[in-house]
Amino acid sequence: MENLYSTSKFLSNTDKIDDAEIVVFGVPFDSTVDYLTGTRFGPNVIREASNFIEPFDIDLQKNLLEEKKIVDIGDISPVRGNPERTVDRVAGVIKEILSKKKFPVMLGGEHAISLGAVKALPRDCVIICLDAHYDLKEVWEGSEITHNTWLRRACEIIGPENVCLVGVRTGDEFEYDYAKKNKILVNPNMDELIKFVKNKKVYLTIDMDAFDPSIAPGIGTPEPGGLLYRETIVLIKEILDNSKLVGLDVVETRPLNDNKNTEILTSKLIQKVLLTYK
Ligand SMILES: [Mn+2]
């Protein structure tokens, strides 16, 4: 692994990559610095929150630390102001984790980093993206790789027909038209979703703004009318029961001074996925 440094750890029970089934790492990257961002602080607040959550899951009656071996290898140092190189670093690390037949969990960071995962995935993979936004803009503020454009770039790599968006409720007319014209599956019902993932390899990317801002206020771009926790868990369980999950990222969480609900929700969600995937 390249240039990784360690801060606090995500819930883990080994320090050795070779012993682990699940490899967690952070990417403290955001491209713009203004009051709306701060997702570069995401990985560490997610890690801290993970240590406040019981590893025993009452619904599933399983303890994550008894079920799976988890290592946290620290953060990839992002290349500030250079999303292309940051994405390539992400791709390199995820490729290495997948080549060791392990399950990558990436903590963001802004959503652009997920393009690195897409670059590293086997080509027979589909992507499920939970997001309030399409992220399908052609360019954004002169840049081709941003949190608003990364899924457009991903579609150019894996094909729009292999992309499913869940939780989308805002975008411009060009994104709307692109999704429609290219037959991207947007906000499917449960039958359509199961058909889409059935017996496929799936990569799951969760932008925390997919959730309603009332339960996840610590994100960059709040949008009313989002997903709630329990309905999302039902949906994710259906995805995992019907497919082979190959990796996960959770992005766009940023700390607020007076509210830790978002990082707690983020950590809980990751633990739920790690306990549920086959
Ligand atoms: Mn997004």
- pLDDT, one tens digit per residue, over 213-223 is 999 999 988 99
Alpha helices, DSSP H only, in the chain?
Answer: 42-50, 64-67, 83-99, 114-120, 150-158, 173-181, 190-197, 229-242, 261-276
Average pLDDT for 184-191: 98
* Ligand 1 geometric centre to CA of 37 (Å): 13
Lowest-pLDDT range, 25-34, 92-101, 160-169, 259-268?
Answer: 25-34
* Ligand 1 geometric centre to CA of 151 (Å): 8
* Ligand 1 geometric centre to CA of 35 (Å): 18
State whether the Cα torsion 158-266-165-32 is positive or negative. negative
H/E stretch holding 129 reads strand 125-130
The predicted pLDDT at position 7 comes to: 57
Could you give the CA distance from residue 123 to residue 159 in angstroms, rounded to a whole number?
10
* Ligand 1 geometric centre to CA of 93 (Å): 21
Confidence of residue 78 (pLDDT cuts 50, 70, 90): confident
Structural domains for the chain: 4-276 (3.40.800.10)
In the predicted model, what is the mean pLDDT of the chain? 94
pTM (2 decimals)?
A: 0.95
Q: 178 phi and psi, to 5 degrees? A: -60, -45
Average pLDDT for 195-207: 98
Could you give the CA distance from residue 228 to residue 146 in angstroms, rounded to a whole number?
26
Q: Is the pLDDT of residue 34 over 70?
A: no
* Ligand 1 geometric centre to CA of 220 (Å): 10
